[in-house]
Structure 1
């Protein structure tokens, strides 16, 4: 495997931190993402990178390479987050919730929320509470109550006690409910917030693009950016990718938990997830780039995980796919990551964009002759030893 000469670039951590906090402050549950996409487009425009928006709300941009190669690459991130939707107006003047995306009501309890009515000039606030919320009323019953979305409700911050009062506020079934993130950056560099998945990834990618632009460094091949808005509900990068894209790298949260190798201070290279393994050659190429430049990168495999690239492949994307991540503790809950891990991730993205495709000539076309496929591996075939075949598979003499 040949790795094109690459140069580490300085990552503006102040920029990354600012962008991350501003992204977190914009509510964007799947299905209500116009505002956050506008913000990302404005950030790209400030870097001199134009962007377009698809009918379904995905944002597309491109950092052109120095030459036409017939094959490009893409970085994919998502701005949509988990959230909720009003399922039912309750007789007690509170709201039943339906979750948007996969997350537990256990972590919703106590969350401050914004309820978006059809009146764009009115935002109603509230808080998610268990049905038995008063220790002075229920005593031990508070601890004995089960958990689940049927066990919580939204208390609205208005003088309302019935369905009629809720309707008078303009609230109805189908209104979006955004969980407020409450972001905090500690002096030691930890970032604590809801919705780091995937807004920390978006901030890292924007910081990487800024580093490329500031240094006047062009990517080896044209690098597309696709910012999706339905990853949390499974659609992800199912549309919006340029047909010339030969490599797709999704950037998303990596799971920090017992039994996982991901860490908050490191970047993560996912080798496989709940859908299956990622591309053999592209993952090894990313690992090689990280080793060459001392990027702190760990490898991991995830059990209950699905990313943008799964939707891309299922939609027919004819490309190699991989996943880079930033370590997040308590994913889809009370999340936490670290600026150092985001810095390593942004640096690796810069290095990757400067490198050649895994197979620059082979991947310039969507298909080719089997005999021309690059040879990478030698496997023993007999007692006489291995002999490399046309695609790296050992053949006996």
Structure 2
């Protein structure tokens, strides 16, 4: 078939909707509703787990060994740790991110009394009062507080609003879609990945592309706290490709352009055969790509394996600058990533033995041992 025509306008429209739907881990219901409505519009049937992880099947020429691709819709955020005497809120992070990137953020507190807007500020926020101390105070979550945009002067005033310990705080994404193709926003991790999965699906359906085997499109809701794909897989899935951000920073080989194929993260190497297959597909389909290894990173792949799934896993990423902060990506990386996902879905099965969960050694894989020369 001809090269898939990824609809970038569609991809960016879905990304904009996702970014403007708050979904810190633990508060993802509305994002789940948004995704379900879009899957219905595309004509796909889907299932939800009890907590809201989604799996949708695109039927293949054969049922097994089924494949899966996965991205997570949950984002970083915060939670109310304490209500202070002065009416400000102490916070703890949801997910792992620095309070350095929280300082100055606009946010919404979701409480029993309603949603309240506010700003996260350092404890010493006024240079006119604290002079150079605003630059010397430590950077950690005990050094910031949330100022609610309501008339509150005490703990009792805050409680009167219905704001309590444990309430979820969503951080404004502040998205910008630039004419240069750059997209700048919080929470591109991993809403850009979710939008890329949708764009690949939309293209396959529009162009009537049929996967080689059943392909499950998974959307998880708790990756930022380590649960991810722990309970969303079906037994027939033999391999899973995770889509998430690749850290573009000094010492990394990731790029904001093309697809970054992760060879390993902090949990160890990804499956040798599946990763090699993706590299070969990128080469064969002229998809710009590079490889990288991430030291301080884990993904939905890790949570699936830790939950006991005996599957092959790999990680495809879009390069992201300033991950878990004010993030930046380029739209062409998302397009290239969607193309690679389609190439994977349409590729032939190379390890037929994977259709069975257990078997003898017949058909088991080999890895080269001969010296190069």
Q: One fold, TM greater than 0.5?
A: yes
- In the alignment, structure 1 residue 50 sits paired with structure 2 residue 45: yes
Looking at structure 2, the residues matched to 243 and 373 of structure 1 have their Cα atoms a distance apart, in angstroms, of 20
Q: Give the one of 230, 233, 251 matched to 2:225.
A: 233
TM-score under structure 1 length normalisation: 0.92
Task: Tell whether 2:84 aligns with 1:93.
Answer: no
- Report the 3-state secondary structure (helix = DSSP H, G, I; strand = E; otherwise coil) of the residue aligned with 1:300: strand
3-state secondary structure, aligned to 1:248: strand
1:22 to 17, 22, 38: 17
> Where does residue 265 of structure 1 map in the other structure?
257
Q: Residue 110 of structure 1 aligns with which residue?
A: 104
Work out whether 1:364 is the aligned partner of 2:355.
yes
Q: Is the 8 A contact 1:264 1:329 kept in 2?
A: yes
Compute the displacement of 1:376 (Å).
Answer: 5.2
Secondary structure of the 2:93 match is strand
1:241-390 equivalences in 2 (<5 Å): 241-359=233-351, 361-375=352-366, 377-379=368-370
Report deviation, 1:7: 4.8
CA contact (8 A) 1:78 1:228 kept: yes
What residue number does 2:34 align with?
39
Q: Report how far residue 369 of structure 1 moved.
A: 2.1
Structure 1 stretches of 4+ moved >6 Å? none
- CA deviations on 1:195-247 (whole Å, 9 max, x unpaired) are 00000000011000000000001111000011110100001101010100001
Deviation at 1:373, TM superposition (A): 1.8
1:51 to partner: Cα distance: 1.3
Which residue among 216, 222, 233 is the counterpart of 2:208?
216
Deviations 1:254-305 (Å, cap 9, x if unpaired)? 1100011111112111000010000000000000000001101111000000
- SS of the residue 1:38 aligns to: helix
Deviation at 1:339, TM superposition (A): 0.2
Task: Structure 1 unaligned segments of length 5 or more: list them.
Answer: 1-5, 387-397
Render the CA deviation track for 1:288-334: whole Å, top value 9, x for unaligned: 00000110111100000010010100111111000001000000011
Local SS of the residue matching 2:62: coil
RMSD over equivalenced CA pairs, Å = 1.4
- Cα offset for 1:375? 4.1
- 1:306 aligned counterpart, secondary structure: coil
Q: How many positions carry a matched residue from both structures?
A: 373
Q: Partners of 1:296 and 1:239 in 2: how far apart?
A: 33
**Offset of 1:71 from its aligned partner?**
1.4
Equivalence for 2:59 = 64
Give the deviation of 1:67 after TM superposition.
Answer: 2.5
Q: Aligned partners of 1:50 and 1:166: how far apart in 2?
A: 44
The alpha carbon displacement at 1:378 in A equals: 4.8
Q: Is the 8 A contact 1:247 1:357 kept in 2?
A: no
Larger Rg: 1
1:203 aligned partner: 195
Shift of 1:365: 1.0
Query: Is 2:181 the partner of 1:180?
Result: no
User: 3-state DSSP class of the match of 1:143?
Assistant: helix
Deviation at 1:343, TM superposition (A): 0.6
CA distance in 2, matches of 1:44, 1:273: 31
> Could you tell me the TM-score, scaled by structure 2's length?
0.98
